[in-house]
Amino acid sequence: MKTEYRFAEALKEMMSEVSLDSISVTSLCKKCKVNRQTFYYHFHDIYDLLTLVFLNEEIPDVENAKTINELLRLVFKYYTKNKNFVDATLSSAGKELFEEFTNNVCYKTFLRFIANIQESKRLHINDRKAIARFYALAYSRSIVYYLSTYKTKTIDGLINCFAFEPNNVLEEAIYRLLTVRSK
């Protein structure tokens, strides 16, 4: 295994036990059985390493989600499996890395959802991307807000954060855009 990924695994494991602020480069190097110079050869600091962790993280089965609720369930399942790590990230200066990770997952998923809507074929790809970007940002920010502020977290609680959204929100967005463009 490459040294960078050994560091990434070690950081994720350590963050499951202690806060990110409690982890030093020295303790990380000790866990990986390498010297500090090796760490600094690969990374500027621990946040640089945390970036690598999130660049390589995946939410299992997200590519099979067929609805927004399924997407939310998979994100929540990822959270519960990695609770301590995610909570440690959310309570650190690295919070924006988790936000970006969640936003990317939502964006790719919404773009796929939109591509599966027949009417979306009438839109330019940039319009489809704009809709996906809009909803990905809204959903990812709300997910991060829920996970970082609510004491008791449940899948129903997360889904209820979006109870005001109709099930066909993407179809409605496409329809509204097509209506505006046809005028």
- The 10s digit of each residue's pLDDT in 60-111 is 999 999 999 999 999 999 999 999 999 999 999 999 999 999 999 999 999 9
Higher-pLDDT residue of 145, 167 = 145
Q: DSSP assignment of 40-71, as one string?
A: HHH-SSHHHHHHHHHHH---TTGGG--SHHHH
The answer to pTM > 0.85 is yes
Kindly state the tokens that stand for 152: 């008791």
Kindly state the tokens that stand for 74: 């998979």
For the chain, the domains span 3-52, 59-182
CATH annotation of 3-52? 1.10.10
d(CA 75, CA 104): 12
d(CA 136, CA 110): 7
Average pLDDT for residues 162-174, to the nearest whole number?
91
Average pLDDT for residues 8-24, to the nearest whole number?
93
d(CA 140, CA 107): 9
Question: What pLDDT is attached to residue 1?
Answer: 64
